[in-house]
Amino acid sequence: MRIGIDVDGVLAARIPAILALIERRHGVSIAREEVTDWSVSVPTTDRDISSYFAETDADPEHIRALDPIDGAVEGMRRLARHHTLLIATYRKPEAAEPTMEWLDSNGIPYDRYVRDVGERKRNVRATVLVDDSPRTVRAFVESGREAILFRQPWNRQEQIPDGIPVADGWADVLEELGL
């Protein structure tokens, strides 16, 4: 099976790193659980959480310093024994090289890094997608393929259509994929 795997929120703990950056830079503490969508305002600034994605995509050191999500390294290793793994991310093109370095340095196996994912990752030639975006998961399923929503605080308020499995962690992803 060809499995598409999202990076941020599925493999990489990007939001905790962005929240740490915000605290260092602005002295503002925001809990991960408070990030219920990307429009959460950063107090004392005129910015929201989403504005930090492009900035940190352009910072190779930020990307290389991200922590893997609990269970991601072992989960990907188990999947790699039986499946073809496609890294499918919306990260900016300048983030590709540091992202692949991050994957390699953390021992996360993959067969291909897909840069041109298209809207809602329609260009990813996978049979199943693991992603933390409800819209992306919904569109992938509507294209006749399967998807697993990786549960995060920012997607808990979204209504997930019946039949789309939800994973609360990597153990759930592996179970859904029969491992």
Q: How many other CB atoms are there within 10 angstroms of residue 104's CB atom?
A: 11
How far is the C-alpha of 168 from the C-alpha of 75, rounded, in Å?
13
Paired tokens of 4: 């598409």
Give which of 99, 8, 16, 106 is closest to 58, Cα–Cα: 99
> What is the pLDDT, as a whole number, of residue 24?
92
Give which of 169, 178, 175 is closest to 70, Cα–Cα: 169
- Mean pLDDT in order along the chain per 10 residues (179 residues): 96 94 91 87 89 86 95 98 94 91 98 81 91 92 94 86 91 95
Q: Is-contact 93 63, C-beta < 8 A?
A: no
How far is the C-alpha of 131 from the C-alpha of 12, rounded, in Å?
12
Q: CA geometry: angle at 70 spanning 64 and 74, to 5°? A: 90
How far is the C-alpha of 22 from the C-alpha of 39, rounded, in Å?
15
Q: Is-contact 121 104, C-beta < 8 A?
A: no
Domains within the chain, CATH numbers bracketed: 2-13+68-176 (3.40.50.1000), 14-64 (no CATH)
| Ranges assigned E (strand) in the chain | 2-5, 84-88, 112-114, 128-131, 146-150, 166-167
**What pTM was estimated for this model as a whole?**
0.92
> What is the pLDDT, as a whole number, of residue 118?
66
> What is the pLDDT, as a whole number, of residue 120?
76
